[in-house]
Amino acid sequence: MSDLRRIIWLASYPKSGNTWLRSLLAHYFMPPGKAPDINNLRQFTTGDTRQDFFDAAAGGAYRGADLEEWMRVRGRALRLIAASKPDHHFVKTHCQPIRVFDQDVIPAEVTAAAVYILRNPFDLAPSFARHQSCDIDSAIDRMLNPDTIMGTPSGIYDLLGRWDDHIGAWTGAPGLPHHVLRYEDMLANPGKTMRALLEKFLRVKVDGPKLARAIKATSFEALKKQEETLGFGEKPAGMTAFFAKGQAGVWREDLTPAQVARLREGFLPTLERWYPEMLKETAEVAAHA
């Protein structure tokens, strides 16, 4: 059997910049004028919730009744995704790399590496609330719940779990080559952040003008305009706009001191590791809870 370790996972908790990164990579690697819009990203990258791959893996229309049935078919679907391109390629996932029913959710046999995108939980919470069509307190509940999952009507799942466990599982996965990218750094300096990913991790010689064009074509405003003009097929039902604010620091207006305190208390060790610059300000806000 040929080596199927072709997948470079683009992994993140929802609303952490995965769509932006996929668009950026597509605009960088595809020929000028050929890069897909937000609704055709599957021409460049794919995802592990693709119905067509599950249908093919199931030998007919896949309709899973529960997590166990999903895991029974998932391994075959991922092998088909890995085999769908002859070399390394990017695949989006929101799942944690954990074991379920004695099987790996992210199997080593199809995995080459991972790019992990994280976003601070204070900005993530209001964005995740819009994504889930719920209030911010409910979104924080889900971010703190180890059993949080998302699913499609046909029974294809994203095993999210807690925000901090998600980060820990991906960045601490034994033997997995990985590169960590913070959404805030992409916003502040997309050129430097993408150059580090391309050169240091993907071992790609960077074409400066090409990278500059890709960054311009995938600015938040450009993606927002695409959604307004074309719609966005990946937007969950009930969500008004997928590309809503796309900024860092919106938590200052969006969260109450009590919500800041909950997130801070729940995720403190992970914040200390990945967002030490936010500790002082959030402590001051949380003190008013």
| Averaged pLDDT in 10-residue chunks for the chain of 289 residues | 88 92 87 63 83 96 94 97 93 96 96 97 94 94 97 94 98 95 93 95 93 84 64 55 63 95 97 97 93
Could you give the angle at which helices 257-274 and 279-286 cross, rounded to 10 degrees?
A: 160
Tell me the domain boundaries of the chain.
Answer: 7-244
Rounded to whole angstroms, the Cα distance separating 214 from 201 reads: 19
pLDDT number for residue 214? 87
pLDDT number for residue 247? 67
Q: Scan for tokens 């064009």, then name that residue.
A: 213
Alpha-helical segments (H) within the chain: 18-29, 51-58, 67-83, 121-132, 136-143, 163-171, 183-188, 190-195, 208-217, 220-230, 251-254, 257-274, 279-286
Q: Which helix (H) or strand (E) holds 219?
A: none
pLDDT number for residue 259? 98
pLDDT number for residue 100? 94
Query: Residue 213, Cβ neighbours under 10 Å: how many?
Result: 15
CA-based torsion, 113, 129, 220, 122: positive or negative: negative
| Contact criterion met (CB below 8 Å) for 186 and 17 | yes
Q: Which amino acid is at 278?
A: M
pLDDT number for residue 67? 95
The domain 7-244: what is its CATH number? Answer: 3.40.50.300
pLDDT number for residue 238? 55
pLDDT number for residue 1? 47
DSSP state of 236: P
| Contact criterion met (CB below 8 Å) for 262 and 287 | no
CA-based radius of gyration for the chain: 19
Query: Residue 272, Cβ neighbours under 10 Å: how many?
Result: 11
Q: How many helices (H) and strands (E) does the chain have?
A: 13, 9
Q: How far is CA 206 from CA 94, 156, 194, 202, 239, in A?
A: 28, 37, 9, 10, 37
